[in-house]
Amino acid sequence: MPPIAYFGIESSGLSLVIDLLILFLVVLYFSLVYWTYADARRRIADPMLIGCATAASLFPFVGTIVYMILRPPEYLEDVRERELEVQATEARLHELDYSLCPHCDYRIERDFIRCPSCLRKLKERCVSCSRPLDRAWTICPYCETDVPAAEPARRALRRERASTSASPVAEPGVGGEDGSLESVPKPSTRGRAVRHPRPTS
């Protein structure tokens, strides 16, 4: 069978090269159609739009180029991951804004002065700006005013703990006036006559 003459040129080598080029273009065409379908499934959630993108890619090479220009910039998995991260961040911020009352475990906010359930005082107000202060603060972080009751309270608490752990417990009637332990003298029997019982007849 004589080789097919391309462009009026009868040559076995040239025919082989042109056949391989045509095969390559056909394989490339079907590969682009499949790639467009697969990429559209990863980027588009609507099945109708996926079908339109695949149908557009049937136009040789032009449809795929148009799809690459108009396709969404992100994968659906990336969009879902970002939404989950945003939800997790919002949940963490929500937990920071809310806490539980240390007395009744009722849900309270950070700026609550009293618990609305048990009515116990949770924080003190700043004498200058009236903002709620934490009991451990020595200065108001909002107006830089010193908290006068914070440091003496801590010092008194420290002195109480030190005195209860260091001072010995003296028994009543045993210690002296200064709290030190004194030995109680035993009664002396020197100079006294010892009476012996008389024998009974």
The pLDDT of residue 177 is above 50: no
- Per-residue confidence (pLDDT) for residue 66, from 0 to 100: 92
Record the tokens describing residue 2, joined without a space.
């004589």
At which residue do the structure tokens 């949770």 appear?
Answer: 122
The pLDDT of residue 14 is above 50: yes
More confident residue, 111 or 197: 111
The pLDDT of residue 99 is above 70: yes
Q: Packing angle between helix 12-43 and helix 62-70, nearest 10 degrees?
A: 30
Rounded Cα gap, residues 60 and 22, in angstroms? 13
- Per-residue confidence (pLDDT) for residue 142, from 0 to 100: 81
Q: In terms of Cα–Cα distance, which of 133, 114, 117 is closest to 125?
A: 133
pLDDT tens readout for residues 164-175: 655 444 444 444
- Per-residue confidence (pLDDT) for residue 64, from 0 to 100: 92
More confident residue, 68 or 148: 68
- Per-residue confidence (pLDDT) for residue 140, from 0 to 100: 84
Q: Are 61 and 30 within 8 A, CB to CB? A: no
The pLDDT of residue 65 is above 60: yes
pLDDT-above-70 percentage for the chain: 66
The residues, ordered by sequence, that sit 6+ positions from 109 with a Cβ below 8 Å of its Cβ are 97, 98, 99
- Per-residue confidence (pLDDT) for residue 196, from 0 to 100: 52
- Per-residue confidence (pLDDT) for residue 44, from 0 to 100: 93
The pLDDT of residue 197 is above 70: no
More confident residue, 189 or 110: 110
- Per-residue confidence (pLDDT) for residue 52, from 0 to 100: 92
Window from 37-41, 51-55, 57-61, 106-110 with minimum mean pLDDT:
106-110
Across the range 107-117, mean pLDDT stands at: 79
Question: Whole-model pTM?
Answer: 0.43
